[in-house]
Amino acid sequence: MPHLRPYRSADRDRVAEICVRTALAGDDATGVLSDDAIWPAIFVLPYVDRHPEFAFVVDDERHGVVGYIVAAPDTRDFEQWFRAVWWPAHGAAWPKPTAEVTREDGVLIYAYGRGPGVEPYGDRYPAHLHIDLMPEAQGQGWGRRLIDALAGALRDAGVNGLHLVAAVDNVRALAFYRRLGLVELESHPGVQAFALPLDARASTPA
C-alpha cells in the first residue's frame, strides 16, 4: 500500500525524475528542453539538498516513490542562497539566454532572475512549496496529505505562513488548490499564487 514518509537522500534521483515527468503543467516534459536536468536543478533538487527536513514523499510498494512535496521555510533566505550558491554551482552548464524565444529560454531566465524579494508573497507567507504527483498517485488524497505533513513540520519549526505559485495554464493544479480552500493572492500575469496561514489548525481547509 502507498504510504507517506519523510524524504531520504536515496530518493534524490527519483524525485528528479518525477519533476521532469510532471513539469509540463502536470504532464511529462521529457525532451521538451535541450537537457531534462534543467527542470529538477531549478524546482526540486535545491530544496531537498538545502532543506530535506521539509520534504516528504509518497512511497508505493509497486512503483517506489510516486510523489513528493518540498519546501523552503524562509523564501528570502532560500532565494539568496539559490542565487549566490546553488545556481552558480549547478546552472553553469546552461548560459543565461539573451532573450525569451523558446520555452527553455523562459525557464532559464526565471532561474537566473531568482533572488530575495523578487516574488512578494514570502513577505506575509514566508515558506513556499513545490508538489508533484505521478498520475498513478493522483485523485487519492495524497496531495492533501502531503500538504498537511509539510504544514505540520513548518508549524513545529515556528513558520507562520506558506505560499505556492502555479501557472494559470495548469488547470488541474489550480482546481486542486481551490478545492483545498487555499487563499488566492493578487498575482503576477501568467501565474496564480495561493497562501496557507499556518496557525493552530491541524490540516488544510476542508
Q: Are 55 and 8 in contact (CB under 8 A)?
A: no
Domain 3-197 fold is Aminopeptidase (3.40.630)
- Confidence check: pLDDT of 200 > 60: no
Q: Which residues, including other chains, have CB under 8 Å from residue 96's CB and lie 6 or more apart?
A: 108, 109, 112
Question: What is the grid cell recorded at 117?
Answer: 524579494
- Confidence check: pLDDT of 178 > 60: yes
- Confidence check: pLDDT of 21 > 60: yes
- Confidence check: pLDDT of 52 > 60: yes
- How does the average pLDDT of the chain come out, rounded? 93
- Confidence check: pLDDT of 10 > 90: yes
What average pLDDT score do residues 136-148 get? Answer: 93
Q: What is the pTM of this model?
A: 0.93
- Confidence check: pLDDT of 199 > 80: no
CA 143 to chain CA mean position, Å:
12
Grid look-up 499556518 returns 198
What average pLDDT score do residues 155-169 get? Answer: 94
Percent with pLDDT over 70 in the chain: 97
Write out 125-174 in H/E/C secondary structure. Answer: CCEEEEEEECHHHCCCCHHHHHHHHHHHHHHHCCCCEEEEEEECCCHHHH
- Confidence check: pLDDT of 49 > 60: yes
Q: Are 82 and 143 in contact (CB under 8 A)?
A: no
